[in-house]
Amino acid sequence: AAELLNQRKKPVIMAGRGAVGARKELEEIAEILGAPIVKPILGKACVPDNSPYTTGGVGLLGTRPSQDALEGCETLLIVGSSFPYIEFYPKPGQARCVQIEIDPLRVGLRYPAEVGLVGDSLRVLRRLIPHLDRNPDRSWLEQAQQGKAEWQKLMEERGTRQDMPMKPQVVAHELGKRLKDNAIIATDSGTITTWVARHVPIRGEQMFSLSGNLATMACGLPYAIGAQAAYPDRQVVAFVGDGGLTMLMGELATAVKYKLPIKVIVIKNNVLGQIKWEQMVFLGNPEYVCELQPIDFAMVARACGATGLSVDRPQDCGRVIEEALATPGPVVVEATVDPHEPPMPPRIKAEQALHFAESLARGTPNRGKIALTVASDTVRELV
């Protein structure tokens, strides 16, 4: 494994859930090899997002510098990850791969591994480090760092927009700035996952939890309840969508009953957003049966005995979230946002653009507003 990694050919480290707890070792290897660290969503907390070595997430809800790193990668070290979306890996034959995995059945499952090291990620990394030679060429890592800096500027711009209706990125951005360094964040599956992946950076000793296959809705609230029960002295926040919360919002009463001071930030757009965009971008079909019955979640919270707050203006968002985090006991913040804001991939493929155009032509509801929003986001990105 060390012999392969020491060849120093555009190395990339992919660190997943199994690498959580190995921050020091991951950063040490990244420094030795001159390798950027890319993180599948389950590995979001393995290295803080302000680390000079990580370029952030991968996949549809990842970052452009991470995608660029994988597209140019020639040496891949996979640590504790079974990231399933193979279209985001290097092309077959492009990269030589070493995989550290506790389950031998997963070695080579997603990408051909020349060397498989079976064991606990932390222990294997510690054994591997003494055998690695420092790469004096930092250009590959510096290229990734430059890409990350540019991406962060774009995310900052999107997270501070003052448009009305309020953008969901603004809510995530304002929350991320105010979380404690040891906060625990739980989230749901859907467009909500994109917003938290890109706009709620991990720092310090923060922990992060979600359903790893990105298919189970409604898990954010119960995950937060479980986390608060396990860590009663830590700040716990559920960042969820209205579709997911609707399925299990009765559990707010559980938080009240057991005096669990969780904070629930619910993005309210009255639509199953991920289903809507998948219908359009992946299938080329118009949106169908995705609208939700509007619910007053702040009122539901108060009915359960919790505090309920609402916000729909970007200039008020930070203040309301700050109030929620400072309020004793369980709190729900209903944040009403633009239902037409798309969870854009790091880079739009030609096929996705074609399907999107087809869905508009076939009669997607509100297609004028959707097209205008997408066009505006694309122009901002190019500028």
Q: Which of 273, 245, 229 is nearest to 188 (CA)?
A: 245
Stated pTM of the model: 0.92
The pLDDT score that the predictor gives to residue 374 is 66
CA angle 51, 53, 59 (to 5 degrees): 100
CATH number of the domain at 2-147, out of 3.40.50.1220, 3.40.50.720, 1.10.3720.10, 3.40.50.360?
3.40.50.1220
* Digit-coded pLDDT (tens) for 66-101: 999 999 999 999 999 999 999 999 998 999 999 999
Confidence of residue 198 (pLDDT cuts 50, 70, 90): very high
CATH number of the domain at 160-382, out of 3.40.50.12280, 1.10.10.10, 3.40.50.970, 3.30.1330.20?
3.40.50.970
What are the DSSP calls for 262-311, one per residue?
-EEEEEE-SB-HHHHHHHHHTT-PPP-S-B-----HHHHHHHHTSEEEEE
* Digit-coded pLDDT (tens) for 209-239: 999 888 889 999 999 999 999 999 999 999 9
Q: H or E element: which one contains 11?
A: strand 11-15
- Rounded distance between C-alpha atoms, residue 142 and residue 242, angstroms: 40
What proportion of the chain, given as a percentage, has pLDDT over 90? 82
Q: Choose the weakest-confidence range: 169-183, 204-218, 227-241, 318-332.
A: 204-218
The number of helices, as runs of H, and strands, as runs of E, in the chain is 15, 12
Identical fold, 2-147 and 160-382: yes
Is the per-residue pLDDT at 8 higher than 90? Answer: no
Q: Domain extents for the chain?
A: 2-147, 160-382
Confidence of residue 372 (pLDDT cuts 50, 70, 90): low
Average pLDDT over residues 172-178: 98
Query: Six-digit token pair at 222?
Result: 């119960």
Contacts (Cβ under 8 Å, ≥6 apart) of 5 = 11, 33, 75, 77, 98, 132
Q: Which of 361, 349, 356 is nearest to 375 (CA)?
A: 356
Count of other CB atoms within 10 angstroms of residue 109: 14
What are the DSSP calls for 27-41, one per residue?
HHHHHHHT--EEE-G
- Rounded distance between C-alpha atoms, residue 26 and residue 41, angstroms: 16
Q: Which of 191, 196, 245 is nearest to 222 (CA)?
A: 245
Work out the burial of residue 239: count CB atoms within 10 Å of its CB; fewer than 13 is exposed, 13-18 middle, 19 or more buried: buried
Question: Reduced to 3 states, what is the DSSP secondary structure of residue 349?
Answer: coil
